[in-house]
Amino acid sequence: MFRNGLLPSGMESMKLRVSPPVFKGRLHDARTATSIGRWLGAAFAVCFLTGLISHFMQHPPDWLANHIPSRPAWGYRVSQGLHVASGIAAIPLLLAKLWTVYPRLFEWPPVRSVRHALERLSVAVLVAGAGFELATGLLNTAQWYPWPFSFVPVHYAVAWLVVGALFLHIAVKAPEIRTHWSRRSPGTLALPSQDGPERRSLLTAVGAAVGAVTLTTVGQSFTPLKDLVLLAPRHPDHGPQALPVNRTAAAAGVGRIADEEYRLVVAGPRPYTLTLEELRALPQHEVDLPIACVEGWSKSAHWTGVRVVDLLERADAPAQARVRVVSLQLRGGYRVSEMGHEHARDPLTLLALRLNGEELAPDHGYPARLIAPNRPGVLQTKWVGRLEVLA
């Protein structure tokens, strides 16, 4: 019964023997890891840089607050669309990369030296952080928050941890990466040649997976592909006036604001108040600008309204002044937004009264909302009741 040596005789049987699993499958090699790692590294680089852009646009430090450029008008739309798309593309890449190096988890002995221990620790941080960022980011796009902490500061902090661990990882693995960089690199040539076609088949599959997850989601911001949106949490055509919304009028506690009760207060060196009728009588301008949400969806729309710069000049606002935009909403965050002088003075920046030729729906900020170029959607304040010129 015990012929197979499962229970050897004598003292040996008394010892608990733990041995690492043996991996007989192919392609758990440095060339496969390098090929996938190159793409994963690129995806993470794009994700990190666009994440930084988004962070500084929403939470600018004091030295930057008045210098955020208002052009290109499509800037934030492209950068945040790339942030979410590169994050989604990184999901199959990360899983494939981890599959490739999984046997390394069972290295024996687990720790050879202090240096080796530190190296493994840095990989653990990288794996933990990378999985954490992609998982929390993806869940956030679906507005699902099953964790106890606040998403934005933690997602931001862990991003630095991941990028740091990635730099460290690349530095540690540099010799291996170099010798496996291409198909003809010396390290690649030293691997069994029959693995070549197998590897190409696997890499094609991973590439196809990246393509599939991208095609089925990217239409939420890249509208030419909106008909392929199967799995994205938003569709550009779904929402009041065929434009998605985040906070509805009901959720903001404003409902439908009565025309005769509405007042716009412009507080500056020469303050004044306008009724809705007076606002509608001012010169109206038309612009095509996108709403680009931090969660990744975006859609361009045709807006009609009064130029903010016209309103500011009537109040004698200094050219370099920042402006605070205050909403009439009673509940929820982002009731107040601020913009630097470039946004305030940009002729595309409107206090919009109409959307695609119709009056704004209450959920889009009736009777008046801010729409400005190159600006995160949460800062395109709705139900605007007050513009304050800041010194």
User: 202 to 231, contacts with another protein by CB under 8 A?
Assistant: 202, 204-206, 208-210, 212-213, 216-217, 229-231
Q: Considering the rule CB under 8 A, would residue 238 count as an interface residue with another protein?
A: yes
Report yes or no: 380 and 291 within 8 Å, Cβ to Cβ.
Answer: yes
Q: Considering the rule CB under 8 A, would residue 56 count as an interface residue with another protein?
A: no
Report yes or no: 241 and 362 within 8 Å, Cβ to Cβ.
Answer: no
Among residues 34 and 349, whose Cβ is nearest to another protein?
34
Q: Considering the rule CB under 8 A, would residue 144 count as an interface residue with another protein?
A: yes
Q: Could you give the strand order of the β-sheet that contains 322-327, starting from the edge strand earlier in sequence?
A: 272-275, 263-267, 384-390, 322-327, 336-339
Amino acid making up residue 323 = V
The residue from 45, 64, 111, 171 that contacts another protein (CB under 8 A) is: 171
Among residues 132 and 263, whose Cβ is nearest to another protein?
132
Site string for another protein, 287-326 (x = CB under 8 A): ----------------------------------------
Q: Considering the rule CB under 8 A, would residue 81 count as an interface residue with another protein?
A: no
Nearby residues of 218 by Cβ (< 8 Å), 6 or more positions away = 81, 85, 88, 225, 232
Give the binding range for another protein (CB under 8 A) out of 68-76, 125-133, 365-373, 377-385: 125-133
- Binders of another protein among residues 91 to 110 (CB under 8 A) are 91-92, 95-96, 98-99, 102, 105
- Binders of another protein among residues 347 to 366 (CB under 8 A) are 363
Beta bridge partners of 285: 305
The residue from 45, 72, 107, 160 that contacts another protein (CB under 8 A) is: 160
The residue from 43, 82, 163, 326 that contacts another protein (CB under 8 A) is: 163
Among residues 136 and 304, whose Cβ is nearest to another protein?
136
Report yes or no: 249 and 366 within 8 Å, Cβ to Cβ.
Answer: yes
Among residues 243 and 352, whose Cβ is nearest to another protein?
243
- Smallest gap from Cβ 232 to another protein, in A, equals 8
Q: Considering the rule CB under 8 A, would residue 88 count as an interface residue with another protein?
A: yes
- Smallest gap from Cβ 105 to another protein, in A, equals 6
Burial class (CB in 10 A: 0-12, 13-18, 19+), 208: exposed
- Binders of another protein among residues 249 to 268 (CB under 8 A) are 251
Nearby residues of 357 by Cβ (< 8 Å), 6 or more positions away = 302, 304
Lookup result for tokens 């499509």: 74
Closest by alpha carbon to 366, among 254, 267, 220?
A: 254
Give the DSSP per-residue string, 245-281: -SS-HHHHT--SPPGGG-EEEEESSS-EEEEHHHHHH
- Smallest gap from Cβ 108 to another protein, in A, equals 16
Q: Given the DSSP bridges, would you call strands 285-292 and 272-275 parallel, antiparallel or unpaired?
A: unpaired
Give the binding range for another protein (CB under 8 A) out of 76-84, 241-249, 311-319, 338-346: 241-249
Q: Considering the rule CB under 8 A, would residue 58 count as an interface residue with another protein?
A: no
The residue from 10, 109, 148, 333 that contacts another protein (CB under 8 A) is: 148
Q: What are phi and psi of 364, to 5 degrees?
A: -100, 10
End-to-end CA distance of the chain: 89
Dig out the tokens for 32 from the structure: 């496969």
Give the DSSP per-residue string, 155-195: HHHHHHHHHHHHHHHHHHHHHHHHHTSSTTSHHHHHS-TTH
Q: Considering the rule CB under 8 A, would residue 125 count as an interface residue with another protein?
A: yes
Q: Considering the rule CB under 8 A, would residue 245 count as an interface residue with another protein?
A: yes
